[in-house]
Structure 1
Amino acid sequence: MAIATINPATGTTVRTFPELSEAEVEQKIGFAHDTWLTYRGTGFGERAELMRACADLFEKEADATARLMTTEMGKTLASARAEALKCARGMRYYADHAAEFLADEPLADPSAVGAKRALGRYQPLGVVLAVMPWNFPMWQVMRFAAPALMAGDVGLLKHASNVPQCALYLEDVFRRAGFPEGCFQTLLISSRQVEAILRDPRVVAATLTGSEPAGRSVAAICGDEVKHTVLELGGSDPFVVMPSADLDRAVETAVDGRVQNNGQSCIAAKRFIVHADIYDAFTERFVARMRGLRVGDPFDPSTDVGPLATEQGRADVEELVDDAVAAGATVLCGGRRPDGPGWFYPPTVITGITRDMRIFAEEAFGPVASVYRAADIEEALEIANATGFGLGSNAWTDDEAEQERFSSDLEAGQVFINGKTISYPELPFGGVKRSGYGRELSAHGIREFCNLKTVWVG
């Protein structure tokens, strides 16, 4: 795939970029490693000052940054601006809390291990490669970069090939904030160059957010090299609605959750599992709201859903819908691409899904919702967990016993009850099963790329 900005609303190429040569990549790895040797010795106070300066720039430049994101991957301008501001919030969170999260952990009774003093100490690992996706081109990167830089690590970014200007902005904004230039570098490279970087002994770990095949590849290489990885892969999140739920709020959140980011979010609700007693009422309202959404220019404030980010992404969504329809599923709204330029696809609702359809097992990365009928909580949980993914999940019920049951039995890294699944700096983020392993955000996220060293003093 060429490294290029291609406006998804028009399909026109805006700008192309050359790939770095092997020699240029080698130079950047060396620069990163040399920078880390000195940067790891800085204190939390100095790092926090730099991180807050970076947050200031993100806030000041949020409008311009939003336009860049919208141009490159098609998210609505309002959601792009919110993403820029969320990055600033994440940076400030780690600036405020890194010292606390990585403080020494002394053993309460060191005499129990025959020591005068014993503790655990968090220390940075070194150069970390981040392989990042296009769907949240700033926030996905920042939820790695902010904790890693505050921990004393340095980063190399291999961003998605369709958001090169976002990638270059990220390198530039860290530099302008005052971080040493080698602390965070963007590598404009193709996927075929990743393996050599992962095998370089100066690169000590990797984090990837993206597709399952990409995650398997990075995990296999790092496993061979015995290097630490964090993987956040796909999701096919369930959204369960029970009879005691506030139906109006559930429908409103269901629509928002399905079409957020033009339907291109790993933690977007994708499979709507509704109790039989309220199935008809929910589905009628849900379809009406989905049908009423405005699809169009993501720069237009009245637009609800912009284009999909890539031509191949739209083709993948179409194939899933067409396969389901050919096998007997019913399309209640949407289901056909509009005429005209750009990679638009309408909000779509499908029912009558059976287990032999691809959409039952695969992630629909676009504004396509599958609706299932469940007779009771047991069937709802069975349908919800009948997937290889386990990233986020939603359940709507005012029954406390049901709330506890969903919290316990939904197979996911996150369970949100009566609310939209969202990533927060304060909460750990990650999945189970084929959705990956490891955690981002919260105290757990900053500790992922640290060596927890045992110190024993006799």
Structure 2
Amino acid sequence: MILTRNPATGAELARYRAHDDAAIEDALAATAAAARDWATVALDDRLTLLLAVGKLLTERRDTYAALITAEMGKPLAESLAEIDKCAWNCRVVADLAPGWLADHPIDSAATRSWISYEPLGVIFAVMPWNFPFWQVLRFACAALAAGNAALLKHSPDVTGCALAIEALFTDAGAPPGLFRSLIVEAQRVPSVSARIVADARIAAVTLTGSERAGAAIARAAGAALKKTVLELGGSDPFVVLADADVPRAAEAAARSRFGNAGQSCVSAKRFIVVDAIADEFVAALLTEIPQIGPLARADLRDTIVRQIEQSVAAGATLLTGGTPVDGPGYHLEPAVLDHVTPGMPVFTEETFGPAAAVIRARDDDHAIELANDTDFGLGCSVWGEPEHALAVGRRIRSGALFVNAPVASDPRLPFGGVGRSGYGRELSAEGVREFTNVRTVAVA
């Protein structure tokens, strides 16, 4: 049995019966059968399904947003924005996938030669709770557009969302078995996921989540010789140079760090600020701290409190926040720490909560050194005169570089990281093609 709770109050929301082995086998058989049929469906018809999904998302946005807020705690305005982004993604993929998946002619020694992008089969997805609709829709649109079926193992914390998304695809006209959600108790997730990855009916695996979960899935997929796409943690640097527009940078910094209560892999986490404007930036940042929702679970709040306390004990200055809010739910006052240095938890670990770590840099070279002092490599944001900031940003290792803007995902641009932030890409042409057999065809 799976129990979901409202993070704002701690109260029970619902109880769900988990799938047993027979139900899991039924889902595997159904998605495998659907994948064989869906691969023969014309691309235009596949994309018609995505448009129907997007239309329903828009029509039901209030219902779905309320479910997101109830299960993982983000403010309703943020939940509504998440649903709107999902609907946008459906439209973008439907509009651009014909070009992304078209045969690509290549000049060679053959009379004719080209690259084709062909379906793989069933894509198994392990998804997290922090963006319960967006994380799923961005993989599912790519997988289904490419001609695959999708089998989802969502976080138990958002079981209601997982079932709602399965029903969404069914209501939009998806064939039986094309998109299925598995409901698995937390303690069974590692063993069940490993068994599913090893199953011959699974063609590829995608995971968004922690390093530990990614490593486990990668081990299982490697043993089974299955392709994987992993989008893991991040400790994204937000670099503010001496010629930056400081008020604008501070506003964007607060929005990036504290949105979704800081529970985003791609949010800015380490604010590396050149000494010359550091005091001005910190003062501006403190005026921009927003009201936030609760963290999704008590253990997540405990982790970020531990990171803050250990960093302060190591010499960081806590300027505001960092204290759990008395009362029901999993609330935490947004925290800003100054004079953070390498080795402190808020510098070296991923901080998945509302804590901003300010690190002071002597100059550009020192800022680059600090930014690169991490095993992660998801996104990077650099603020300053555009060409100057771009030159600095090019020397920082990351999967995405944003100049004078916070890092964000866009369906038209590839998204993913390097290092311990994972590998492979989601979104855009690259994300859709991750779920294809890139096949060479040569005719003599």
Equivalent of residue 305 in structure 2, options 307, 312, 318: 318
Q: Secondary structure of the equivalent of 1:256? A: helix
Measure, in 1, the Cα distance between the counterparts of 2:369 and 2:72: 35
Q: Which amino acid aligns with 1:58?
A: L
Equivalent of residue 452 in structure 1, options 430, 434, 438: 438
Equivalent of residue 360 in structure 1, options 333, 347, 372: 347
* Structure 2 segments unaligned to the other structure (5+ residues): none
What TM-score, normalized by structure 2, do the two folds share?
0.97
Q: Secondary structure of the equivalent of 1:194? A: helix
Alignment correspondent of 2:402: 416
What CA deviation, in whole Å up to 9, does each residue of 1:235-264 have, x standing for no partner?
011111112111111111011011011110
Does structure 1 conserve the Cα–Cα contact (< 8 Å) formed by 2:307 and 2:345?
yes
Query: 1:243-322 to 2 correspondence within 5 Å?
Result: 243-290=242-289, 293=290, 304-322=291-309
Q: Which amino acid aligns with 1:149?
A: L
Alignment correspondent of 2:57: 58
Measure, in 1, the Cα distance between the counterparts of 2:78 and 2:375: 29
Alignment correspondent of 2:164: 169
What CA deviation, in whole Å up to 9, does each residue of 1:396-420 have, x standing for no partner?
00151x2232331111101111012
Query: 1:49-88 to 2 correspondence within 5 Å?
Result: 49-88=48-87
- Structure 1 vs Structure 2 CA RMSD: 1.1
Measure, in 2, the Cα distance between the counterparts of 1:106 and 1:250: 44
Does structure 2 conserve the Cα–Cα contact (< 8 Å) formed by 1:317 and 1:365?
yes
Q: Which amino acid aligns with 1:78?
A: A
Q: Secondary structure of the equivalent of 2:204? A: strand
Measure, in 1, the Cα distance between the counterparts of 2:42 and 2:322: 55
Equivalent of residue 131 in structure 1, options 106, 126, 130: 126
Does structure 1 conserve the Cα–Cα contact (< 8 Å) formed by 2:386 and 2:404?
no
Q: Which amino acid aligns with 1:171?
A: E
Does structure 2 conserve the Cα–Cα contact (< 8 Å) formed by 1:4 and 1:163?
no
Q: Secondary structure of the equivalent of 1:270? A: strand
What CA deviation, in whole Å up to 9, does each residue of 1:69-106 have, x standing for no partner?
00000011001001001001101111111121111112
Q: Secondary structure of the equivalent of 1:118? A: strand
Alignment correspondent of 1:442: 428
Do the aligned partners of residues 175 and 379 (structure 1) sit closer, same or farther apart at CA in structure 2, a change above 3 Å counting?
A: same
Query: 1:141-152 to 2 correspondence within 5 Å?
Result: 141-152=136-147
Q: Secondary structure of the equivalent of 1:415? A: strand
Task: Kindly tell me the number of residue pairs found equivalent between the two proteins.
Answer: 440
Equivalent of residue 150 in structure 2, options 147, 152, 155: 155
Does structure 2 conserve the Cα–Cα contact (< 8 Å) formed by 1:104 and 1:120?
yes
* Large movers: runs of 4+ above 4 Å: none
* Structure 1 segments unaligned to the other structure (5+ residues): 294-303
Do the aligned partners of residues 13 and 381 (structure 1) sit closer, same or farther apart at CA in structure 2, a change above 3 Å counting?
A: same
Alignment correspondent of 1:299: none
Alignment correspondent of 1:38: 37
Moved more, 353-362 or 249-258: 353-362
Does structure 2 conserve the Cα–Cα contact (< 8 Å) formed by 1:428 and 1:441?
yes
Alignment correspondent of 1:377: 364
Measure, in 2, the Cα distance between the counterparts of 1:441 and 1:416: 17
Measure, in 2, the Cα distance between the counterparts of 1:128 and 1:152: 10
**Pairwise CA distance, 1:328:** 2.3
Q: Which amino acid aligns with 1:421?
A: V
What TM-score, normalized by structure 1, do the two folds share?
0.94
Alignment correspondent of 1:4: 3
Q: Secondary structure of the equivalent of 2:138? A: helix
**Pairwise CA distance, 1:18:** 1.8
Alignment correspondent of 2:13: 14
Q: Secondary structure of the equivalent of 2:14? A: strand
Measure, in 2, the Cα distance between the counterparts of 1:178 and 1:53: 8
Alignment correspondent of 1:343: 330
Q: Which amino acid aligns with 1:438?
A: G
**Pairwise CA distance, 1:335:** 1.7
Q: Secondary structure of the equivalent of 1:34? A: helix
Measure, in 2, the Cα distance between the counterparts of 1:55 and 1:356: 45
Alignment correspondent of 2:200: 201
